[in-house]
Structure 1
Amino acid sequence: MYFIITICFLYIIFDFNYFLRSGFTVISSRFYEKRCGLNDTTTIYGFCTTQDIDILVKHMNNARFVREIDFARYHFYDRTGIYDKIKKIGDIPLHVASCNRYRKSIPIFTAYKIESKMVCWEEKTFVMEHKFITLNDGFVRALVLSRQSFQKNNSDIMFKGIPGADHKPECPEEVKHWLRAIEISSAKLRKKD
């Protein structure tokens, strides 16, 4: 009885599903998937449920896409060894920006996968790309770019020894424009402070 009360309490106070899903994503991949490098693509799977839908009760809420890339990032960090480096060196990557491109909605009760890959990295930041692809038709429903920033160390230190770190990819043109827009926005905010 106390166990049930504890679980109910955790669901009320915390978004307990988030923590369960995070743990499940990382732990299950350790048993069933091999390590990969920075230049590889990782894949996780999802299913649009009633907890993911918007007010029209027909498709995934736009905010849910950003939440889903958390799980995809955790998975990528673990499979590449970034998570081990974070624990060893004691740094924290923060999600500092995202650019979402919605092409077509993900209907309720539809299975999808998220393919994640490293796009490029700079001194203290790196950019990942996440593609939401529905399994029934293979259509890329959304593309999310996410920018991460290390708090203490630079990317070269954090990625050192990870397969693929010796081959730094060229930043795509559209990502350069997005990063430039972020710089301009940051400069405007600093002037107001």
Structure 2
Amino acid sequence: MGGFFYPAIAVVAMMYALFDVNYFIRVFFTLSWRKLIPVKRRKISDAINIYGFCTTNDVDLFITHMNNARFIRELDFARFDYYHRTGIYEVVASRGGSSLQVATTVRHRRVMPVFTFYRIETKLIYWDQKAAYLEHKFITLSDNFVRATVFSKQQMVGLRMSTDDVINEIDPGMQKPEAPEDLTHWIKYNESSSEKLRKVD
């Protein structure tokens, strides 16, 4: 028994030293949970919520509130859940494609205290031929306060169909919403940044 136990402990310690093991475990759990326990399909225009809890693994140097980088990581799980519950993942994956996050911006309004329950609300707010734009809100359950808002640009890759085609297959006849003013500015910023970098390259 001892001859197996100590090498196993060493392997686990090495894995934790080299990889963010908890992240991969949670990804596996999130995706498996949706496959094992299906939920009612939601419309692609719906706001989809997942819930979280700020632990000591999430805090920054002051050990009082969530590290800024953790907000970005939590969005992975919010997107996974949104894709599965709306059917986007099935349509894109069935055609050999995937969705790549190509831009994100976070506006922090107030810190997320440690040992706080929160939800992340994810909603599709606009799309163009190549990408879908999601808005995420981090909301504390105790006071329903929006602690942070996030824009993320999800680009469809490996597909021979536009974002319009993907959305129309999932929700035929859905009308494209008008881009909010703040999102329009953000899209222009991304385009300007891309153009600037192309000149440098």
More displaced 10-residue stretch of structure 1: 159-168 or 139-148: 159-168
Amino acid at match of 1:56: F
Summarize the Cα distance change of 1:109–1:32 in structure 2 as closer, same or farther, 3 Å threshold: farther
**Pairwise CA RMSD:** 1.8
TM-score (norm 1): 0.92
Once the two structures are TM-superposed, the CA of residue 55 in structure 1 deviates from its matched residue by: 0.7
Q: Which residue of 1 aligns with 2:134?
A: 128
Deviations 1:39-96 (CA, angstroms, capped at 9, x unpaired): 0111111111111111111100111101101110010000011111122001121111
TM-score (norm 2): 0.88
**Paired residue for 1:116, among 104, 122, 127?**
122
- Does residue 1:24 correspond to 2:29, yes or no? yes
Summarize the Cα distance change of 1:120–1:165 in structure 2 as closer, same or farther, 3 Å threshold: farther
- Unpaired stretches in structure 2, ≥5 consecutive residues: none
- Does residue 1:72 correspond to 2:78, yes or no? yes
Once the two structures are TM-superposed, the CA of residue 174 in structure 1 deviates from its matched residue by: 0.8
Which one has a bigger Cα radius of gyration? 2
- Does residue 1:14 correspond to 2:19, yes or no? yes
**Paired residue for 2:98, among 92, 100, 107?**
92
User: For residues 38 and 109 of structure 2, what CA distance do their matches in structure 1 show?
Assistant: 31
CA contact (8 A) 1:118 1:127 kept: yes
User: For residues 173 and 19 of structure 2, what CA distance do their matches in structure 1 show?
Assistant: 37
- Unpaired stretches in structure 1, ≥5 consecutive residues: none
Q: Which residue of 1 aligns with 2:174?
A: 166
Summarize the Cα distance change of 1:61–1:163 in structure 2 as closer, same or farther, 3 Å threshold: same
Q: Which residue of 2 aligns with 1:145?
A: 151
Summarize the Cα distance change of 1:90–1:189 in structure 2 as closer, same or farther, 3 Å threshold: same
More displaced 10-residue stretch of structure 1: 155-164 or 31-40: 155-164
Summarize the Cα distance change of 1:167–1:109 in structure 2 as closer, same or farther, 3 Å threshold: same
CA contact (8 A) 1:38 1:165 kept: no
